[in-house]
Structures are given as structure tokens and as C-alpha cells.
Structure 1
Amino acid sequence: MRANDNWRLPSEEELEIAADWADRLPELTAAERRELESWLAGGPGRAAAFALMRDTRRDTALVEAAERVRAAPRAKRLPRLGLIAAGVALAAGLSGAFLVRPYLTATETPLELTTPLGQRAEHRLSDKSVVSLAADTGVFVRYSHGARDIDLKKGDAMFQVAKDKTRPFNVQAGDTTVTAVGTTFEVERVSDAVQVRVFDGVVRVNRDGAERSVSKGEWLMLVADRAPVQGRLDAESYQAWRSDWLDADAMPLKYVIARLNRYTAQSVSLHDPSLGDLKVTGRFKLDRPAESLTMLAALLDMRADPAGRRVYLTPKRSAKAEPKT
């Protein structure tokens, strides 16, 4: 019996994930290497897949075998992972019939990214796109052969999208979908609204079947049961976002509060929800919440009354004397 008679190729998903690990192996951080070790321990097929992908990168015979597949007529060529697998199979002496199955439907392992109150984070995805999360933000990432899908569960995130016309980059925020191919844009879920800001390129925004384009230097605000509002970004918007500044220009108070609450465990609230529509104009440093709250209360002639884990903003003019007992 030959040594490779019982040899079999690991699953599509194992090969897809292993190929990504092998590509990034020289640049892995200590934390990522621990993550790789944990993944490898999850099943025998994973170690085999990783060994194949790693050896394909450095073994001349395997590379040459893969190149023979690359030289085949166009109709018979396989995508990247299929090409690697084919080269591995040829070098291992497997039957050509084994190579018929292309790796077109493989998906990457879904990824959940979050930030706590008051902290930001930046993540580089497998396609080299970069996701920057503001404080108290959560996204769910799912990549497949045909699409790059992000679900913005809460908060505010900026996306620097690597260009790939074959795989649109879609960000879902409630009932709103923002689609890009290669651009830099921000999507935010704030109170009852979704806001999109585009810093480079153009995106398509779809809500309830109605689609519109938002180009570089523009913003779009979508609020339930209201017509969309679109405008121009301030020249300093990108840097302001990066440095936790909020520039409010007749911004509803409820939106200012929602953004401020991403930076403080003692959340700001209103006894009277109708006050949330008051318009606020000012510049607030969100990562200094106590300072920003003091400024906000002064601008609106309000008191900031602590009550346990909350701080209530109350108009001073509505204050009444406590009844005597």
C-alpha cells in the first residue's frame, strides 16, 4: 500500500480558513497565534488543512503542480482555493476525478467584534479592509465567496473597504443596507436613526426598497416615518470622528445624549422624552463625558441630577419647591 492511499483532502471550510491562516502566518501577533492554536485543536481535519496550505506556500513541487492547473484551459480553471487544493492533490498523486469539485461556496468563520463603554478598537479583516469601532459598538462579520456582509448591531463604525468588485461590501443597520465596493464610510445607529457619512468614494443606501447614492463629502440621515435628510460634511469631520469630538449643529438633544452615553457608565436620561427634540449647537469631547455634560446642561439651562446609575437633565425653569411635610 502506498503511503497516500488513505490520504484525503480536508473539508472546504477547513481549507478556506487554513489558507487565510497560512497567508498571514509571518505577520501573526502573539494573540493571533494563540487563536490559531485554538482553531487547530478543534478537529483533526484542521491541522491537516493548515499543513497543506503552509506546505503549498513553500514547497516547489506543490507550487509547480498548482501552476500546471493554472495553465489549463480557462473553462477548467478553479478559483484560488480550488487551485491550491488541486496543486496539493496532484502532488500527492490523487486521481484527477478528485479535482472536479470547485470551492465556490466556502465561507469564513463568522466574526463578532465589540467595544466596551469609552473605548475604541480597529480591526483588519482577511481581505485587508479595516473596521474602526467607536465606543460601545458591536458588529457581526460574515464573508463568503460572493459578498462581504457586516451587521451593525449597535453603535458607530467606520469602514475602509478594500476594492473587490466581485464581492460587494454590505453593512446592515436595522432596515437599512449600505453597499460599497472600495471606499471609506461610516455607519451609525443612534436613537431612532441611521446616519451614513462618506469620506471617500460612493456608497448605495437602500431602505425599504428605496435606493440613493451618497458620495464623498456627503451625509445621509434616515429616521423612521420621516423623509431622508442629506447634506455636506464639514471638512474636519473625519478627524473629529477619529478624536472623539462631536460637532453638533442644531442636533436633536436625544442624538447628543445617545452618543455621550457610549462613554459613560452613568447614562444621561430625560424625565420628559419630548425634550429630546430640543436643538443643540456646540462642540463636545465625548471621551470627557462629565465635562461635556456640564457644558450641555449650561447651553440648555438645565440641571444635571444624579440618581443611581443615571443622570437626569431637567430644565431649571420647571423646578418646583419641594412640598413641606
Structure 2
Amino acid sequence: MSDDTNRDPARQKLAEEAARILRRLDEDPDDHAALKDRDAFLARGRDAKRIYAVMARGFAAAPKTLKDRDRRYSIGIVGGVLALLSLAFAWEPLKVAWLADYTTRLTTEIIELESGDTTTLDASSAIQEETNAKIRTVDLLKGAGFFDVDDDGRRFIVQAGNVTAEALGTAFEVMRLGDDVIITVADGIVEVTGAGQIRQLTEGKQIRVSPFETSIRSVEPDTVAGWRRDRLTIGGMTFGEVASVIERRMSGRVFVISNRLADDPVAGALDLSMPRNALKTLAATSGASVVEVSPYLTIIYSR
């Protein structure tokens, strides 16, 4: 789910593996199998070493009484460690802040671009704009945007990672979710280039472009970019991805402590006007628990 550890499945998996090894060594420092697993883990490379070091510092700082308690209590340890991990990989948000021409924080915002076009940015989103006499280009650096484009003779292109969406007189949404990009057309036609393919989408069509594949489905046009009205209609998304959309509206971080839970497909609709309630509603649909460790850290885990 990326610029963050909890949105990067590979790094989250490493963090969970490191936590398991540390728990085993805490119970028995001479556990030969655990020591062997630790050495094999560290041999995986730089990311593994950095994650293990941060996890070890956080685990060592936790009181023994808390370590000895059951999972409901020890979840706070893991949450605190993952918060440290988010700082360890904080260079990406700094890069986005440096490049962005427009950013939003905890709410959506309607922005008039230099090109004269109008876009609505979702909460915690950022774009960079470049305009000249022949082309209008917007780079969606993070989050999501809804673009309502007039045909003034110049091309209008939205770039999101390795995916481009060229508007042919249209209104459409572009959303970044980790390494994936979702483009949904509310009106008109959009030409999408990504994963070695070029596709034209019409009203009510949505494409999801992953590094190695694409998928297309139909949606109701009036649900496109529903976050503009504090409404999220969920389809074709996982639990972790929906949690990341809700997180954009929260002042703190949200971590899903389970790859299986994070990867579960979900469906339905959520009211985003009260993000914490939306998060609890999402968790309830999957039988998960939400723990607010602090106003700035929320943990979700399987029961």
C-alpha cells in the first residue's frame, strides 16, 4: 500500500518476519533455530537489515510486562515499532513535498490549475503541473484527483508513475494505490497507457493498471470520485487499500498488521466525513479490531 512501510507489502512482510524472530529470541536468546533464521533474514539485503534494526530497537524499549501479555496488549509494541519504520522510510514524502505545486492535507480541495482547468484533489494528495502552448501535463505524485477538462486545442495528460491518462474532452478520476493506478471515467473518453498497453475508456469504465497486468470493470458514473462528497463506493479494492484512502483524512498513521487482512477484497460504501468511524466500519466488515494507540497511531489486526 508505496511511499510507506504499511503500503509496501514487501516491507510490511519483512517487518512482521522480524517481529516473529525477535519474539522467539526474547523468549530464548540461545534458540539456535531462531538465530539461524535471524542470520538468514539479515542476509536478504539492506532493507532487511534496516527493518530488523528498527524493530529490535523498538522491541528492546518495550517493558517486559507488556511483552509478556497477550496479543491484544502487545499489539501496541508492534504499532510503535511500525511508527518508527514509517520514519525510517520518510524520504519519499519529503520528495513529494519538494516537487509538488499543489498539495492538500486532511480535506479535499478544488484547485484551478495554471492551464485554466479545474481539478479536485482528495485529502493528502499532491500534484505537479507543467503547461505550455501545446500540452497540459499534471503529475499525480500521491493520492487522488478528479479532472474536469475542456478541449482548448491542447493535449491534457495526467501522469501517475508509469501510467498516463490523456483526456479527450472528459471528466475522470486518477488514484494512486501503492504501485497501482486506478483511472475511472465519469464522462467522455480517456486514453490510458500503462503496462505496455494502450486502452480507450468511455463513461462508466474503470481500469486498474498494475506493474504486470491491467483489469477493466464497469462502475456507476455518479460514484466516480465519490470522496468529493465524503462518500467512497468500494469495488475492486483490498482492505489495506481502503484503509489507506481513509488514512488520508486522519492526522495520524494507520497500520494493518496482517498481510492476509490487508489483501482481503472488500465491497460496499463508506461515509468518509468521520474517518475514524469509517475505519471501524471497515474493520467490522472483516471481523477485525481497531486499536487507537494514540491520536496519531491506529492499529488494525485480525481477531
TM-score normalised by the shorter chain: which range applies? 0.5 to 0.7
1:147 aligned to which of 135, 139, 143: 135
How many angstroms apart in 2 are the aligned matches of 1:278 and 1:269? Answer: 15
Q: Is 1:216 the equivalent of 2:200?
A: no
How many angstroms apart in 1 are the aligned matches of 2:221 and 2:132? Answer: 36
Structure 1 contact 115–134 (Cα < 8 Å) conserved: yes
Corresponding residue for 2:6? Answer: none
Corresponding residue for 1:41? Answer: none
How many angstroms apart in 1 are the aligned matches of 2:235 and 2:286? Answer: 14
SS across alignment from 2:284: helix
Q: Is 1:233 the equivalent of 2:219?
A: yes
How many angstroms apart in 1 are the aligned matches of 2:191 and 2:206? Answer: 12
**Bigger relative contact order (CA 8 A; separation at least 6):** 2
- Whichever residue aligns with residue 275 of structure 1, its letter is L
Structure 1 contact 131–157 (Cα < 8 Å) conserved: yes
How many angstroms apart in 1 are the aligned matches of 2:245 and 2:262? Answer: 13
1:176 aligned to which of 136, 149, 163: 163
How many angstroms apart in 1 are the aligned matches of 2:109 and 2:161? Answer: 22
More divergent stretch after superposition (272-281 vs 289-298): 272-281
**1:48-106 superposed Cα distances (whole Å, 9 cap, x missing partner):** xxxxxxxxxxxxxxxxxxxxxxxxxxxxxxxxxxxxxxxxxxxxxxxxxxxxxxxxxxx
Which runs of 4 or more aligned residues in structure 1 lie more than 4 Å from their structure 2 counterparts after TM superposition?
none
Q: Is 1:263 the equivalent of 2:230?
A: no
**1:17-39 superposed Cα distances (whole Å, 9 cap, x missing partner):** xxxxxxxxxxxxxxxxxxxxxxx
After the TM superposition, which residues 109-120 of structure 1 pair with which residues of structure 2 at under 5 Å, given as runs?
A: 112-116=101-105, 118-120=106-108
- Whichever residue aligns with residue 292 of structure 1, its letter is A
After the TM superposition, which residues 87-126 of structure 1 pair with which residues of structure 2 at under 5 Å, given as runs?
A: 112-116=101-105, 118-126=106-114
How many angstroms apart in 1 are the aligned matches of 2:186 and 2:222? Answer: 11
SS across alignment from 1:263: coil
How many angstroms apart in 2 are the aligned matches of 1:208 and 1:230? Answer: 13
Q: Structure 2: 5+ residue runs without aligned partners?
A: 1-98
- Percentage identity across aligned positions? 27
Corresponding residue for 1:206? Answer: 193
Q: Which has the larger radius of gyration?
A: 1
Q: Structure 1: 5+ residue runs without aligned partners?
A: 1-109, 317-325
SS across alignment from 1:236: helix
How many angstroms apart in 1 are the aligned matches of 2:229 and 2:113? Answer: 23
How many angstroms apart in 1 are the aligned matches of 2:299 and 2:100? Answer: 37
Corresponding residue for 1:314? Answer: 301
How many angstroms apart in 2 are the aligned matches of 1:155 and 1:121? Answer: 12
**1:264-294 superposed Cα distances (whole Å, 9 cap, x missing partner):** 1222211223321112222211231111122
How many angstroms apart in 2 are the aligned matches of 1:239 and 1:205? Answer: 18
Structure 1 contact 111–142 (Cα < 8 Å) conserved: no
User: TM-score w.r.t. structure 2 length?
Assistant: 0.63
